[in-house]
Amino acid sequence: MTLITEDTEMKLTAAILTLGLMAGLHSSAQAADSPAELNDLQIAHVAYTADNIDIRYAHLALALTSDPEIRSFARTMIRDHSAVNEQALALLEKLNAQPEDNFLSQQLNANAETLIDKMSQLRDAEFDRFYAANELAYHKAVNELVEFTFLPNIDHPEVKSLFEAGLKIFKVHQGHAEHMVEQLNGH
């Protein structure tokens, strides 16, 4: 009989939820449109949604953790994702355009609710490890989607430029999350 440690269970849960996110994106894409077929306004809505989700995760972390590194990371998530959203909204206003809700934004929100419910029930080191693992998985998934699917398909040069700048910031977040995961797992 194999015993699964709390740490292993947390990694498995985070991996399952991330795979669920990616599978959800894939199955939703087959049921509706492909992420590669989204227009610039739909892509903008997905990015805005993803930023708001990470801001929600960060607020939850600030409410539940006492770990200084997690708290610092959460504050960075709130600051950076809010700034990118403000820039996106300013650009949309300049272009006199509105972001368009779509299957992918809806799937991200549904998956976020599941994760927030799960994280809300965790405490102390268990929460910290799960939050850090989720942040790493979330940034990897979203960064890959932006880099390999959205950027090649964005038509408007100013929208593309905003996404390129955001991707640079969010890759730094991914590296920071990877460092947190390693530290929390004693590596």
Q: What is the radius of gyration, based on Cα positions, of the chain?
A: 17
In a domain, 8, yes or no: no
Q: Is residue 58 part of a domain?
A: yes
At residue 16, the pLDDT reads: 45
Q: At what angle do helices 124-145 and 103-120 cross, to 10 degrees?
A: 170
Amino acid identity for residue 161 in this structure = S
pLDDT at 6: 53
In a domain, 139, yes or no: yes
Provide the CB-side half-sphere exposure for 46 (13 A, CA). Answer: 26
In the prediction, which pLDDT does 15 show?
46
Provide block-wise average pLDDT over 10 residues at a time, the chain (187 residues): 44 46 42 83 97 98 98 98 96 96 97 97 97 98 97 97 97 98 93
Domain membership flag for residue 85 = yes
CATH of the domain at 159: 1.20.1260.10
d(CA 14, CA 33): 26
Residue type, 107: Q
Q: What does the pLDDT read at residue 29?
A: 39
| Residue range(s) defining the domain that contains residue 45 | 37-184
Does residue 179 lie within any of the structural domains?
yes
CA angle in degrees (0–180, nearest 5) for 37-38-41 = 155
With respect to residue 1, please indicate whether it lies within any of the assigned structural domains.
Answer: no
In the structure encoding, which two tokens stand for residue 104, read together?
Answer: 């992918």
Can you tell me the distance from the alpha carbon of 163 to that of 28, in angstroms, rounded to the nearest whole number?
23
Residue 3 lies in a domain: no
User: What pLDDT is attached to residue 27?
Assistant: 39
Q: For residue 187, what pLDDT is reported?
A: 79
Domain count, the chain: 1
